[in-house]
Amino acid sequence: MGALTDRERAHETARFLKVLANENRLMVLCSLNDGELTVGALHQRVPLSQSALSQHLAVLRREGFVITRREAQTIYYRIAEPRVHQLMPVVCDLFSDPT
């Protein structure tokens, strides 16, 4: 299999950025930036209904940005995509409250 063409790389990058181009998903990823959290902890940090949060988490899981682990009844989320690990500290710092 050959290397990706410029167009294929551009398409892959656009798809990656499209997932990030949502304020709620950015808030989830910034919350997960320091480590895994339960769904309940995410719900406390991200001002969304549980249903809306679940939908955004489903998108992030489907795209491979986050993974889960289950401990009894509790589900933990953490960032799985290496590029997200590299990018989120920068994004979160750029747009954090300067105070």
State yes or no: pLDDT of 1 exceeds 60: no
pLDDT in tens, 32-46: 998 999 999 999 999
Q: Please state, in angstroms and as integers, the Cα–Cα distance from residue 33 to each residue in 4, 6, 11, 18, 24, following that order.
A: 29, 30, 26, 19, 14
- The number of beta carbons lying within 10 Å of the beta carbon of residue 29 is 25
For the segment 3-30, the average pLDDT, to the nearest whole number, is 92
Give the type of residue at 25: R
> Does 22-94 carry CATH code 3.90.45.10?
no
Q: Which residues pair with 8 in a beta bridge?
A: none
85 φ, ψ (degrees, to nearest 5): -55, -40
Strands 74-79 and 66-71: antiparallel
pLDDT at 97: 72
The token pair at 51 is 């249903």
pLDDT score at 95: 76
Residue 94: pLDDT above 90? no
Task: List the domain boundaries for the chain.
Answer: 22-94
pTM above 0.85, yes or no: yes
